[in-house]
Amino acid sequence: MNDGAPATLRVAVLGCGVVGTEVVRRLLTNASELHARTGTRLELVGIGVRSTATPRDPVVPTELLTEDLRGLATSADIVIELMGGIEPARGLVTGALAAGASVITANKALLAQHGPELYEAADAARVDLFYEAAVAGAVPVVRGVRESLAGDKITRVLGIVNGTTNYILDEMTSGGLDFEKALAQAQELGYAEADPTADVEGLDAAAKAAILASLAFHSRTSLDDVPVQGITSISPEDIASAAQTGHVIKLLAIAEQGTYDGVGGLAVRVHPALVPVEHPLASVRGPFNAVFVEAEAAGTLMFYGAGAGGEATASAVLGDVVAAARHRVNGGKAPSESAHAALPPMPAQAVHTRYQMRLDVLDVPGVLAEIAAVVAAHGVSIETVRQGMRDPDEGAALVIVTHSASESALAATVADLDTLEVVERITSILRVEGT
């Protein structure tokens, strides 16, 4: 920490809905980790709401609620705007920046319409304006494009940035549903709102496309520059026809360099498109988001994850809060925390995982019972057993998958199995991960 670093930064949250509540929860319950990551204490000084009388999640401290959003926004070091909509969010953000606060926002509508004036206001005030959560929720594509690729040249961005439409198209593809049924199902599961227009007509994706294009191409792209086509006219026949040639249909937000009348230009658009099944974007399932970036030197990169949800979005917001705090405290450098709450290494034998064992065994009655008894004796439980591939003249092969067991229990099991007469050979032991 620098010598002049503040011991405390005052943090204000504007809006206490789905995302705001989760941000408040993490600010309060993870205070000590946040201190370690930033080198300073983050003090939540107020939560701006329309009415302090509205019932809130118990994690929200009543005494911090205030209806004076402007007073709050102009008296904090870090202001987190989670109200949504254009006004009063725009005025509050501008006021906060002018008052010298770093601002974090998840407000795609505001940025897609008034981004350039806000970025300039932040420049003029020499403070940060961060908005990771505005593009693809928890997916860290904003930081990836702005920082990781800052020494490269991006040539194209293809994004699945709306989880509602991706869920609907995915259900139409894998479940054979038509658009109306898939939409109804998305609404039931909470993936689509009662009024799904902004999602299914592509407007939400268009706002994100404008933000991504501005960022990736250092341009001033606004929502009005983005031609949009939604997914309401996609039919089961379109999906089936795409499948016949090895494609799936995805709603894509696209920004790419091109030439027009010999002059370089930027094309930004949102529309459903056929994507080859072997393309990494094709395997983005359900409500997930992913952004595929093509750059001159890096080649192709993809960022994948949860595009929405209070908790996931709060994760992105907090990442921005930590970055802004680090900038205010020590010029962006993360404090050392190798000494802080470091987890001790676990001995290898303590690792728990699922195992697949393949055994060559004698083809005699009772072999399975004998093996199962040995496995059970070590407290390992069997999930499945199936016949493996082996020439029948030579005996049988078994493939056993265990439930999660410790490495040491497995090692003991294997040692015992190896002594059994009925076990000719243990042909392989592999772990099963990713479940």
Ligand X SMILES: NC(=O)c1ccc[n+]([C@@H]2O[C@H](COP(=O)([O-])OP(=O)(O)OC[C@H]3O[C@@H](n4cnc5c(N)ncnc54)[C@H](OP(=O)(O)O)[C@@H]3O)[C@@H](O)[C@H]2O)c1
Catalytic sites, residue numbers: 208
Residue of 165, 99, 159 lying closest to 135 (CA atoms): 159
- Decide if residue 331 touches a second copy (CB under 8 A): yes
- Decide if residue 20 touches ligand X (CB under 6 A): yes
Considering only the stretches 11-19, 48-56, 140-148, 413-421, report the one whose residues sit in contact with a second copy under the rule CB under 8 A. 140-148
Q: How many residues bind ligand X (CB under 6 A)?
A: 26
Distance CA 207, CA 194 (A): 20
**Given the DSSP bridges, would you call strands 352-361 and 299-306 parallel, antiparallel or unpaired?**
unpaired
- Give the three-class secondary structure for 58: coil
Select from a second copy, ligand X, none the partner in contact with residue 32, using the beta carbon and a kind-dependent cut-off of 5 to 8 Å: none
Given the complex with ligand X, which of 130 and 355 has the nearer CB atom? 130
Q: How far is the CB of 118 from a second copy (least distance, A)?
A: 11
Q: List the structure tokens of 268.
A: 């930004």
Contact code string over 45-84 relative to a second copy, x by CB under 8 A: ----------------------------------------
- Decide if residue 95 touches ligand X (CB under 6 A): no
Query: Could you say which of 65, 71, 75, 88 contacts ligand X (CB under 6 A)?
Result: 88
Given the complex with ligand X, which of 119 and 335 has the nearer CB atom? 119
Q: What kind and span of H or E run contains 324?
A: helix 310-330
Q: What kind and span of H or E run contains 173?
A: helix 163-174
Given the complex with ligand X, which of 82 and 169 has the nearer CB atom? 82
Q: At 428, which amino acid appears?
A: S
State how far the alpha carbon of 357 is from the alpha carbons of 39, 141, 354, 366, 388, in Å: 48, 40, 10, 19, 10
Distance CA 62, CA 74 (A): 21
Q: Is 278 annotated as ligand-binding?
A: no
Q: How far is the CB of 357 from ligand X (least distance, A)?
A: 36
- Buried-exposed string 340-366: b where 16+ CB fall within 10 A, e elsewhere: eeeeeeeeeeeeeebbebbbbbeeeee
- Buried-exposed string 307-318: b where 16+ CB fall within 10 A, e elsewhere: bbbbbbbbbbbb
Select from ligand X, a second copy, none the partner in contact with residue 15, using the beta carbon and a kind-dependent cut-off of 5 to 8 Å: ligand X
- Decide if residue 420 touches a second copy (CB under 8 A): no
Restricting to residues 137-156, name those near ligand X by CB under 6 A.
137
Annotation: binding site for NADP(+):
14-21
Annotation: binding site for NADPH:
108
